Amino acid sequence: MTPFEHPRLIADIGGTYARFALETAPGRFDHAASLRCADHADFHAAISAFLGGLPSTTIRHAAVAIANPVDGDLVRMTNYHWQFSIEQMRERLGFETLVVVNDFTALAMALPRLSVEQRRQVGSGAPREPSVIGLLGSGSGLGVSGLIPAADGWVALGTEGGHTSFAPHDEREIAILRFAWKQFSHVSFERLLSGSGLELMYRALAEHAGVKAEALSAPDITQRALAGADRVCMDTLEVFCGLLGTAASNLAVTLGAFGGIYIGGGIVPRLGEYFDRSPFRARFEDKGRFTDYVKAIPTYVITAPNATFVGASAILEAQLRSLETGSGSAILDQIRRAIPGLSPAEKRVAEHVLAQPRTVLGDPIAEIARAAEVSQPTVIRFCRSLGCEGLSDFKLRLASGLTGTIPVSHVQVQQSDSMNELGAKVLGNTASAILQVRDQLNRESIERAIELLNGAQRIEFHASGHYGVVAQDAQFKFLRFGIGCNACTDPRLQVLAAGVLGPRDVVVVISSSGKVPELLEVVDIAHARGAAVVAITASQSPLARKADAVLIVDHDEDVATHVPMVSRILHLLVIDILAVGVAMRRQAPNEDGTQPAVPAPGRRRVAPGVSASTPLARLTSHSR
């Protein structure tokens, strides 16, 4: 194994313990330590305590697997009170990269790397390769995940499957459900298949048996059950294993997990041979009409002590490879495409950014200008040429691009493609292009364009050729707001229409290239008449430089072989963004379609016929 230049910090954070180690070479974990969460005020205090006990060393990269859904920058633990901002934590610790993922997502990524000695099969069945793999395990909660085979590896599922509703199997489990209902309106599998769940089931079964429950912790219950020293504890552990079999079986049929179901967590691996003799496998196969289906699926107990570390390390390694290549950064791709249209000085800035994108994130403008051998105003002009307001805005987009997790790719359609392959490629290419445009759009430019449109007395939508339908779609949408508007697609009419614009009017010019002479003439006439110009166009284009507000849409499309299908969709989506923005600033219409002068009591602002979608991606890591 080749040692890393700097050791990497790997952590596994649960509701009770926080485990840390330094990965000094691939798969080699040194200085492992397990700290009680209760002994530390927050995550920063725990990680600082671990680092404080180490010899002086430099750590640049870290990966944290945490028993919690990771959705955006703010992390709030479900079964403990710790919470933190990923970016603020990265800065406080002085790391270049901090990747935070769900602990079972990390454990799932370790499964393909487990050797035969690091797992123990329970029951029959044999895996099919390649097939979906399921994972669940009990500890402070019930973690659930899975792996889907992909062409170049595996895709891990980040789920909260432990919160699916519990369904009892027999009278004893009905008694447990009734007991749990006294505390919880919704009883999930996690309420029972966890440390606190063992304690709840023990009290429920003691009441069911008519005996007094003792104040026993989950480890006490497990120890007494394994020793055969307490009938209620024995029943509790037996029910626990049976319920886990049902939960595993549900996961198997949900995912079609013919690659097997793996059991991890902090409880089952400690049960040893007892688990193999328990009702787990019998309940796993008890699936009615689907019994033969699940009998073919193998089940394994993970015995590797550092499996979560292995998975978190794999995710961190993949993230670092992505950062080094910059393949996932939409703004870097935009810079590469823009280079031919840049001035010689701006090209030097572009080349410096492409060569050292992560260094640029932390450097002040003076250092960037010195490294590129240009003036500071040239750096600002370069940023604005990409649709950014300035250097700070450019750095935000660059950071977002470097830490994004959704790859953007374009797959060429071939003559030999089947209809299914053709459809998949067209849809995939369109989705990739949409993600690129999402990263290119600038918040200030969107707000500026929306304000201009919302305050306009009249709006003209100008486009030519294949993009005429975009202008017509925009006219239809904005007429519904009661705004006087027109779609103009004939070059001669465009010039005439621009000649009657006034100071309170806005012309929206839609052009993929931004170089159409007639449209550039419209912009000049509109400005001479005092009207504002909003452009939906490519960066570095003459149109982008002339407009008052620019919404950048960069998409390379071979218009010589087919019509610009994807580009039109991107322009239509930008129109939708503007329509949603204007709708949000306007009142809901009366029943007769007129606009009320003042908001009616209880009336809320709504977008007529337009809805906004949820974000397409989640941020799970931060890098300087």
**230-253 tens-digit pLDDT:** 999 999 999 999 999 999 999 999
pLDDT over 60 (residue 84): yes
Please indicate whether residue 355 or residue 469 has the higher confidence score (pLDDT): 469
Instruction: Tell me which of 15-19, 174-178, 316-320, 459-463 is least confident.
Output: 316-320
Please indicate whether residue 238 or residue 143 has the higher confidence score (pLDDT): 238
**Residues whose CB is less than 8 angstroms from the CB of residue 104 and which lie 6 or more positions away in sequence, other chains included:** 135, 136, 137, 143, 144, 145, 158, 159, 264
Q: What is the pLDDT of residue 619?
A: 33
Q: What is the pLDDT of residue 595?
A: 53
Residue corresponding to tokens 């072989």: 561
Return the CA Rg of the chain.
Answer: 30
Please indicate whether residue 100 or residue 333 has the higher confidence score (pLDDT): 100
**Mind listing the pLDDT tens digit for each residue in 310-361?**
999 998 988 787 665 544 456 777 888 888 888 999 999 999 988 887 778 7
Taking residues 587-599, report their average pLDDT. Answer: 49
| DSSP annotation of 188 | B
Virtual torsion, Cα 184, 190, 196, 201, nearest 10 deg? 70
Band (208; pLDDT cuts 50, 70, 90): very high
Q: Is 98 exposed, middle or buried (0-12, 13-18, 19+ CB in 10 A)?
A: buried
pLDDT over 70 (residue 546): yes
Task: Count CB-CB contacts under 10 A for residue 215.
Answer: 7
pLDDT over 60 (residue 270): yes
Task: Count CB-CB contacts under 10 A for residue 381.
Answer: 16
**Residues whose CB is less than 8 angstroms from the CB of residue 565 and which lie 6 or more positions away in sequence, other chains included:** 426, 430, 557
Q: Which amino acid is at 254?
A: T
